[in-house]
Homo-oligomer: A and B are copies of this chain.
């Protein structure tokens, strides 16, 4: 029997309440290598400019829940060995990692490469893309955590590239018992992550790669480079410190140490490409 890798395209934008995630997902799909195996695209409504509905403290909660359930159903239809997910905001990884956790149990490790821990809940923040790792551990909105039948155990989760956290996140990280390796410790070597894989006996690995772990002065398509942002728009929010080349090295190193069964790429916001696309669409000769 050959193994199956499912590609899941998920242009979800509501988890960050930012319509540009949709375009970012479409472009990410174009950039990704061609895929021979099965592919699913989760239907996500186009942003129509309406104000975000707030339900139980979460913006766009109904849509996000419906999309998480649709992603789970799509994955279950294929029963794949591996899942590559192209987001979309960080919450796209709920169903893929939930499913891999059920399939691989305590052989599965989760490497969360992110400038942020994504452990808040509606009590702290209304954007559910910042809740997803918490949900996978069983913390947060009950309807979302119910989508994760086998919760992750903290020792088999490692946050990589996070350099700091906010006051709301500090007690949650402690309560959950989550560990992390800062960007500075991964700049020259992947060894701290490889040590964790060996120590925990991890044979199968799911990787969440939030592009915002990258330094925004060296990689442009990130939230923090939003062209119309006020100068203080991101005050107090941690920004990434890693280089793309460092993350690629880390991903290759962990691929050699465990079977990478999951990879999600999230938070792709290619602002200049969006501006150029919109500019071209406005020109009369393009409609002639």
Contact = CB atoms under 8 A, between A and B. Distances in A.
A210 to B, nearest CB: 14
A247 B282 CA distance: 11
Question: Counting chain B CB atoms within 10 Å of each CB, which of A27, A219, A276, A277 scores highest?
Answer: A276
Nearest to A288: B5
Given A272-B219, A273-B270, A275-B244, A33 B263 contact: no
Number of identical monomers bound together in the oligomeric complex = 2
A37 B247 CA distance: 43
A31 interface: yes
B84 A31 contact: no
A32 to B, nearest CB: 5
A32 B286 contact: yes
A190 interface: no
A229 interface: no
Contacts of A270: 272-273
A174 interface: no
A260 B282 CA distance: 14
Nearest to A282: B248
Interface residues of A, number: 43
A171 interface: no
A199 interface: no
A189 interface: no
A31 B280 contact: yes
B285 A5 contact: yes
A166 interface: no
B252 A33 contact: no
Contacts of A251: 283
15 contacts: A5-B285, A5-B288, A27-B30, A28-B276, A82-B285, A84-B285, A220-B272, A221-B273, A221-B276, A244-B275, A248-B283, A260-B288, A263-B283, A265-B280, A270-B273
